[in-house]
Chains A and B, each alone.
Chain A
Amino acid sequence: MWTWFYKLASPPYVYRVAAALMPWFLGLAAVTIGYGLIGGLVFAPPDYQQGDAFRIIYVHVPSAILSVTVYTIMAVASAIALIWRIKVGHAVAAASAPIGASLTLLALVTGSMWGKPMWGTYWAWDPRLTSELILLFLYVGVMSLRSAFEDPARGDRAAALLAVVGVVNVPIVHFSVVWWNSLHQGSTLVTLEGPKMQSSMLWPLLSMLLGFTLFYGAVLCIRVQGEVLQRERQSAWVREAIKS
């Protein structure tokens, strides 16, 4: 197992693995997102309180869960890169940032669109909404900091430091609905009693969640290849890699 872990620090190995995994992730993402959308928009019954407006859940919840998950992955990759000076860690963090930022924006926009018919407003300075907005600012900050330095290595280190410090916001996003009074509802999927949804609503949601995760994996694979090439462009193995 450790051998495999050490191999992940090797840029040519990561480049090859990312290239091989990408089509699988993308194909499976298309199937699971397709199933989730059809199940959620066509076959799931309307919610007894929210009617058909609840169907926004099928894009809002996967993007919201991924927004914090991708940030956590970015922070862990940054910490690995800072502690063990592994360049692939910086590549994974740099590749994750734009994906996470776009998913956070999607969660905010869809949440806002859902809020209008349910709460009567597009936006409220609610703990969950505000901490999610701070998450978006953190993503933008990490990306801006990385590109603000002429020396890419310094940019990588500064961005990694901000990513690691900013991870404190992740539990705040998650527990904001528990710690403070919030307009936002509590967790529907992860509860001690199990999911609070009927199975015909739940399975499409789980499928969408899996699909978004696989899609993140696919886009990460493409972006990681680019980031690795960027950092290794003077290396001999790159010549063979860009030919294929």
Chain B
Amino acid sequence: MSGGGFWYMGGYARYVWPCIGFAGVVLVWNLWSARRSLAAAKIRASRALAMAASEAR
């Protein structure tokens, strides 16, 4: 497939490329939001541990 033909996708470019792009967005969002929720859970857990330690004193 030539370079121009690759982007043209036989006339279906406006259907194919948005699908590939949206798939990329979904995959990146999944990774980003999962990492964000893990980081938030670590912060909440360390706060809970700190509170428990101060109550024990």
Chain A positions near chain B (C-beta within 8 angstroms)? 26, 33, 37, 41-42, 46, 51-53, 55-56, 58-60, 63, 98-99, 102-103, 105-106, 109-110, 113-114, 116-117, 215, 218-219, 222-223, 225-227, 229-230, 232-234, 238-239, 242
Contacts and interface: CB of A to CB of B under 8 A. Distances in A.
Given A58-B20, A215-B30, 6 more contacts: A106-B26, A110-B22, A117-B15, A218-B31, A223-B37, A230-B41
Interface string B11-30: 11001101110110011011
Contacts of A63: 23, 26
A110 B19 contact: yes
B10 interface: yes
A41 B20 contact: yes
Nearest to B49: A239
A113 to B, nearest CB: 5
Contacts of A232: 45
A220 B38 CA distance: 11
B29 to A, nearest CB: 7
The 9 closest A-B pairs by CB, nearest first: A52-B10, A226-B41, A59-B23, A222-B34, A233-B45, A226-B38, A53-B12, A52-B9, A229-B41
Contacts, number: 107
Which of B11, B12, B35, B46 has the largest number of chain A CB atoms within 10 A?
A: B12
Contact of A114 (B15, B20, B38, B40): B15
Contacts of A37: 20
Contacts of B11: 51-52
Contacts of B16: 52-53, 55-56
Nearest to A44: B1
B33 interface: yes
